[in-house]
Structure 1
């Protein structure tokens, strides 16, 4: 009998060590090693048979010049927000990983998508390892999901799952979740690195060999990363993160990896009792509770992929009661805020070194692009001076360390979005004024420096 060999694998970088280490010598991460048991190699004199897909066709090597290609149309999910993030729809035969915090709505989203696909006469197999069939049915009834081509299969054994896929031959497979699946031939525990790697390898083979689209739900760690080895994210075609606060109704889905589309798109949903509802105009939703005469508030047109979003940046600047002033942010980069405050103190004469500053984005948005700099500066100056900006003003521009307002990309789309929401005046970099036609109904003000922007915004 062959001896079972045990080694330790780093979950961050994949480094393999023969013994347990507290710190990985490759990536310097602490407490990332997990035990895995290697399967003993089996020797056989027989020649391995060629791989056969579900249609009985043998997969053989072939010359690149002889490979025939045809443009396969994408499959729409019935949700425009999800289609936008996927790059225009689902590519048949792709492997899609969806991660997010517990209770954020991953299973709800995939159950609704499965119902939409089944409604369009696509055969869907929903494999659940965390719930029974009756529990899924109760949630499906609440969401109004059903169909004659929608199959539920509560199972965690991958051998049984592959057998059911071969029998059912679905167009789409949903695995909820990959951490609950188990390869029967492996001795390691369910959810271990070795199990996740083998399960994902089997799912990838099913997707690529048979042209079946596979959705995989992945749990996340406390740090927000998908649990398991990094190779899990490398193997799949698309990695989507489902974000949001459980105390808020809005959910956002982002693509951090997409072989078939952009990774800059974002989809916005609202969690309701009947499930997730698409938010087609998130700018209006994020601004609907804004006070007209509030100080420390400024509106920015931020760009998420190709979608312009109007968001409110709020600032509260107050004298500090401690030796060192505090800088606290929510939804904004703390270093960016500190940089803008330093520029305001040096170039605009605002004494902020003895002021505590608290900044956030309304609605739970996360903004991290250069074009929000001008709105940050205006909101900080508004709170410091206790002077409100006009409720119909919005601000777009990047600020340099010398106080100049620098050019930003896609200014025309940003200004058009401000026009849709009824804004009357928009502040933009002076160098962005050339080469396009200003839309009717809004005054476009070009500014060169942050000091000039402050004078025009508060006069």
Structure 2
């Protein structure tokens, strides 16, 4: 038998070392090295490190002049979900590897099963399940009232077996649920380990590239919301998507974190119903379901998600603190940025909140990752601090600098147009984003400083 070898692999970045050490020299993280026992690959085996050859259409070893590469656009395959296609950048690209992550119960398997069942009516698809039995998958498909004819199913966790079946069936789309359950025989470690996840993903990705197959992988996430497994896994794949949504909400958001074929930070919105996930055509409508009577601290802002504007309501609650250290709680925005904005409000707005508890919430569970929400956050805080409600027809966006200036944000004209479509009549925007001709029936107030925005209220 081949002599077993041992290596120490960093769970954060995937760096390998011959012996254990406290700190990883590559990513500078502490106590992230875990021992992995590796067996030398047998001749002719299908391990990822043996350089699998023999796939049909393998031209990757030929040297080609860059000027001779065909630049014709590769036809994309629709996923039957417009929101899914939007996050992917227009659809599934042949030969690409897409990783779909999310918390347990978010709907990862449901989304891919719905996609596979609908596409199987016209394309060759192999769905590999490593966590559920075939009867469990069939029961879920029946409950969701999905067409089951034509979808090829395989309950297997061995990567060698999966690749052999894929070579025989030649599918256009290969679904792996999930990558943490897959294993290679030549690697002597449990499924879900660093080496198994890395080498299994490498073997499957290599097959997808060489056979022009769309590879869809399901990935688990850790308790802090990051993708489980080695960090190098995110570098192997072409697109990394994250399906988010709390157990108490029926809405799910699909966000692109990495995409080699489209825009990053694109957002798709789905609703979880009895028949599975259903795409939401107008996300702004679900995020603007406000009460008839306007309350202090509530304001609508326009954020830019990927390639489209979305109207979102932000709520602020400012209350006198009974503690020596007032609380700063932010849900949906960066808490450190909230503390910075409160300091700007004190210095350049003349409003002191140092003895007040400040709570901030973005309605609908959406996470705002851009700085265009700064001005809306501050005005919502001022509204709650002074206990004065803002007009329902008011919409606000703009970045706030440390010197109190209001900086412009990208796509200002598109944001104003989207707000006008939803019936908003007034907008407070940075002066550089003010249009020469505002939309009909809408008043646009351009401001340069925070004091100007406060006066405009």
**Same fold flag (TM > 0.5):** yes
Matched, 1:391 2:392: yes
Q: Do 1:344 and 1:350's aligned partners in 2 also have CA atoms closer than 8 Å?
A: yes
Distance (whole Å) between structure 1 residues aligned to residue 143 and residue 32 of structure 2: 40
Distance (whole Å) between structure 1 residues aligned to residue 371 and residue 193 of structure 2: 40
Q: What's 2:437 paired with? A: 437
Distance (whole Å) between structure 2 residues aligned to residue 174 and residue 353 of structure 1: 53
Distance (whole Å) between structure 2 residues aligned to residue 49 and residue 383 of structure 1: 63
- Give 1:41 deviation, angstroms: 5.8
Q: What's 1:91 paired with? A: 93
Distance (whole Å) between structure 2 residues aligned to residue 359 and residue 418 of structure 1: 22
Task: Give CA-to-partner distance per residue, 1:345-375, whole Å, 9 cap, x none.
Answer: 1122212111110111011011131211111
Task: Give CA-to-partner distance per residue, 1:381-415, whole Å, 9 cap, x none.
Answer: 00000000001101111112222222121111101
Q: What's 1:201 paired with? A: 202
Matched, 1:71 2:61: no
Question: Structure 1 residues 136, 43: closer, same or farther in 2, change over 3 A?
Answer: closer
Q: What's 1:237 paired with? A: 238
Distance (whole Å) between structure 2 residues aligned to residue 305 and residue 68 of structure 1: 28
Q: What's 2:83 paired with? A: 81
Q: Do 1:54 and 1:169's aligned partners in 2 also have CA atoms closer than 8 Å?
A: no
Distance (whole Å) between structure 2 residues aligned to residue 2 and residue 264 of structure 1: 47
Distance (whole Å) between structure 2 residues aligned to residue 223 and residue 382 of structure 1: 33
The alignment partner of 1:247 has SS state of coil
Q: What's 2:14 paired with? A: 14
The alignment partner of 2:104 has SS state of coil
The alignment partner of 1:179 has SS state of helix
Distance (whole Å) between structure 2 residues aligned to residue 414 and residue 237 of structure 1: 30
Question: Structure 1 residues 52, 270: closer, same or farther in 2, change over 3 A?
Answer: same
Task: Give CA-to-partner distance per residue, 1:93-143, whole Å, 9 cap, x none.
Answer: 111111111111100010111122123x01111000000111001111122
Q: What's 2:37 paired with? A: 37
- Give 1:39 deviation, angstroms: 2.6
Distance (whole Å) between structure 2 residues aligned to residue 216 and residue 49 of structure 1: 21
Distance (whole Å) between structure 2 residues aligned to residue 53 and residue 233 of structure 1: 24
The alignment partner of 1:227 has SS state of coil
Distance (whole Å) between structure 1 residues aligned to residue 43 and residue 135 of structure 2: 45
Q: Do 2:326 and 2:354's aligned partners in 1 also have CA atoms closer than 8 Å?
A: yes
Q: Do 1:77 and 1:83's aligned partners in 2 also have CA atoms closer than 8 Å?
A: yes
The alignment partner of 1:245 has SS state of coil
- Give 1:70 deviation, angstroms: 3.9
The alignment partner of 2:128 has SS state of strand
Unaligned runs of 5+ in 1: none
Q: Do 1:51 and 1:58's aligned partners in 2 also have CA atoms closer than 8 Å?
A: no
Q: Do 1:53 and 1:59's aligned partners in 2 also have CA atoms closer than 8 Å?
A: no
State the number of aligned residues. 451
Q: What is the 5 A alignment of 1:96-107? A: 96-107=98-109
Unaligned runs of 5+ in 2: 45-49
| Structure 1 stretch displaced more, 77-86 or 62-71 | 62-71
Q: Do 2:83 and 2:269's aligned partners in 1 also have CA atoms closer than 8 Å?
A: yes
- Give 1:28 deviation, angstroms: 3.1
Distance (whole Å) between structure 2 residues aligned to residue 58 and residue 312 of structure 1: 52
The alignment partner of 1:312 has SS state of strand
